[in-house]
């Protein structure tokens, strides 16, 4: 939650600029323009959007707390949620002075979520599964509890004072 608050503050605060370029609605246009400027410039300018929402690739699966889930389902769920958050931020930027929506930012944010998820989550889940299997399961074993003897609760012959 704190990460999303910081991202929202960074991406949705108004900026004072003398001019604002037009929004980029053509996919991969700004990415190809950055790549045309050179590899170092592209890495510097494109790493920000990739890293902006990358922690969500780890934080979203951790919030669910599931150890036994298909890796494909987990990746799909996480990438979809990251893409929807990135899209919501870009749509909100359309109404903020000085902020320009860019469809490539949504693509780069989503790629960052996917890369972070693939780099961290499968290894952590397998390590946690091995730890819990080594302990003998996730829940303690309790012996079966027998039924209590039937009590005459509504009997009028007993007084409890």
User: Is residue 94 within 8 Å of 14, Cβ to Cβ?
Assistant: no
Question: 15 CB contacts (<8 Å, ≥6 apart)?
Answer: 97, 98, 99
Show the tokens assigned to 156. Answer: 């009028």
pLDDT of residue 152: 55
At 70, the pLDDT band (50, 70, 90 cuts) reads: very high
Rg (CA), the chain: 26
**Rounded to whole angstroms, what are the CA distances from 39 to 44, 45, 65, 108?**
9, 10, 39, 16
Find residue 102's DSSP bridge partners: 24
pLDDT of residue 18: 81
Please return the burial class of 25, using the count of CB atoms within 10 Å of its CB with bins 0-12, 13-18 and 19+: exposed
In the predicted structure, residue 94 carries a pLDDT above the cut 90: no
Has this prediction a pTM greater than 0.75? yes
In the predicted structure, residue 79 carries a pLDDT above the cut 90: yes
pLDDT of residue 3: 87
pLDDT of residue 32: 94
Poorest-pLDDT segment among 4-18, 76-90, 103-117: 4-18
Residues in the chain: 161
- CB hemisphere CA count around 100 (13 angstroms): 12
Q: Name the 3-class secondary structure at 24.
A: strand
At 120, the pLDDT band (50, 70, 90 cuts) reads: very high
In the predicted structure, residue 34 carries a pLDDT above the cut 60: yes
């Amino acid at each position: 939650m704190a990460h999303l608050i910081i991202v929202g503050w960074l991406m949705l605060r108004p900026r004072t600029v003398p001019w604002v370029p037009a929004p980029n609605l053509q996919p991969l246009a700004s990415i190809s323009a950055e790549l045309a400027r050179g590899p170092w410039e592209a890495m510097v300018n494109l790493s920000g959007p990739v890293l902006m929402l990358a922690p969500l690739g780890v934080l979203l699966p951790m919030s669910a707390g599931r150890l036994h889930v298909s890796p494909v389902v987990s990746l799909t769920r996480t990438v979809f949620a990251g893409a929807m958050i990135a899209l919501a931020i870009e749509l909100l930027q359309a109404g903020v002075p000085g902020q320009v929506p860019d469809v490539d930012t949504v693509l780069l944010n989503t790629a960052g979520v996917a890369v972070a998820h693939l780099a961290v989550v499968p290894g952590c889940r397998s390590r946690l599964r091995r730890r819990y299997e080594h302990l003998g399961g996730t829940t303690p074993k309790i012996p079966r509890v027998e039924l209590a003897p039937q009590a005459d609760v509504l009997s009028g012959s007993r007084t409890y004072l």
